[in-house]
A = this chain, B = another copy of it.
Amino acid sequence: MPNHPAPITVIRLGYRVGRDPRINTHLGLVSRALGANKFLVSGDKNHKMFETIKQVTKTFGGEFSTNHLDAPLKWIRKYKSEQKDGGKNATVVHLTMYGEDYRKVIKEIPRDKPLAIVVGGAKVPASIYRMADYNVSVGNQPHSEVAALALFLDKLQDGKSIDRKFSNPKLEIIPDLERKNVIDHEKKEEE
């Protein structure tokens, strides 16, 4: 059972088609696999990248939504205020190598409230630092936003992010030390 029952949204800022195609796909797939519900991308539009993620959801199950964001700052502002009106303050976390240790910050994040995780791109507007409730680092060495997102999502869920079940998969992979072990649910039904 994942330990952040409220919805998690991952927002990727300033995506550039020419430079980031696979990094961005990986961010989307990590969001899905490790317990987020939604993946929003600002910057360049790229339907192919969203298609890849949708195809994975279709094949491996569960519910996961993706969308392009034209005005991410506006979206974040609205997200914070809307949730506050409903009496359930959302939390906005900004992942940056300049922030505070994620292991410290995660303890303060309410588990029962919606959470948006903002992942920077090439140039992050300074206002993001102010709009975020927490500027959070996963180490203070340059490495990867994919790795930072994964470690953050997993820690948030007490190391159990991969235990989430995905409903109605077509394919299901069974952990196996020796070989590839895949159940094809569609084939089963046909037989």
Contact = CB atoms under 8 A, between A and B. Distances in A.
Contact of A146 (B101, B146, B162): B146
Task: State the majority secondary structure of interface residues on A.
Answer: mixed
Nearest to A174: B140
Given A23-B22, A150-B150, A29 B144 contact: yes
Contacts of A29: 141-144
A2 interface: no
Contacts of A143: 26, 29-30, 32-34, 150
A141 B32 contact: yes
Contacts of A180: 98
A119 interface: no
Contacts of A174: 140
Given A23-B23, A26-B144, A149-B147, A99 B176 contact: yes
A26 B147 CA distance: 8
Interface residues of A, number: 53
A161 B154 CA distance: 14
Contacts of A135: 176-178
Nearest to A104: B175
Contacts of A144: 26-27, 29-30, 146, 150
Q: Which 7 A-B pairs have the closest CB atoms?
A: A139-B162, A147-B150, A26-B144, A33-B141, A33-B143, A140-B173, A146-B146
19 contacts: A20-B22, A22-B23, A30-B144, A30-B147, A33-B139, A33-B142, A60-B142, A97-B173, A99-B175, A99-B177, A100-B176, A101-B162, A140-B175, A144-B146, A146-B146, A146-B150, A147-B147, A147-B149, A150-B151
